[in-house]
Structure formats: C-alpha cells, structure tokens
Amino acid sequence: MGFHFLELSKKVLHNMSPRLKLWFEFLKDPKEALETYGPEAMKNDSHFKKAYEELERFSRDPKMRAIYDAELKAIRDEESRFDTGREEKERAIALNLLSFQVPISIIAQSIGRDEVWVYALQERKE
C-alpha cells in the first residue's frame, strides 16, 4: 500500500466546483471538511459517506495506522533534509557575499532572509 500526495495551486482550488472542492478538503482534512461543510453535505452523498466510513475503518486498524505513520514520518524527514539543505545553501551564499563586503541589506534581500539573520551569521563568522 502507498500514499499519494497531490499539490494544487490556490488558483486551481479557487476555480473548482463546490463538490470537487469538498472532495479536496475531505482528502486534506476529513474532520475539518465535515465541520466546514456540515454533516449533511457528506451524508447526503453516498460516495462521501462510504469514503468517511472507510477512513474510520482504516484509522482503527493498528497495522494500517502504523503504515500511514511510517509514510508520514518518511515525508517529514525528507522535508527536513530539504529545509536543511536550503538553509546550508543560503548560509554559503551569504558568507560568500559577506566576504566581498556586500551590504547586509542586499544579502538579506537576495537570499530571502532578514537582516538580523545575516548579521548574526556575520558575527559567528568573525
């Protein structure tokens, strides 16, 4: 079994039909979708009702829950590695620009950080 993730831009979500938007909200966070759209919106639709029942059954199965938790942990670990790599790259760029005496405001703007972060990096470097 595997889990699949779908990322959509806000523009795409904004232009969806209400029913399709409800499905995406349900897939993102079933409980929040139920609170937002109300139980009638889901219970009147046999597909939503069946999906919610399957979700509850799935959530109660310890083996399936363990698989889900392991997949989620792997995704979060990957995101963490990505964030760490991005921060290391920003740090290297900032240090390089500091070595050329580029103003802190320019460095901060070029890497998308605030000046305090660049200043703190410069202080640690010295």
Q: Please tell me what DSSP assigns to residue 45.
A: S
Considering only CA atoms, which of 43, 65, 66 is closest in space to residue 33? Answer: 43
- When pLDDT is averaged across residues 50-67 and rounded to a whole number, the result is 84
Cα separation, 12 vs 34, whole angstroms: 22
Confidence (pLDDT) at 55: 82
Are 42 and 27 in contact by the 8 Å Cβ rule? The answer is no
Model confidence at 2: pLDDT above 80: no
pLDDT at 4: 65
Whole-number pLDDT of residue 58: 80
Indicate whether this model's pTM tops 0.75: no
Which is more confidently placed, 121 or 82? 121
Tally of residues, the chain? 126
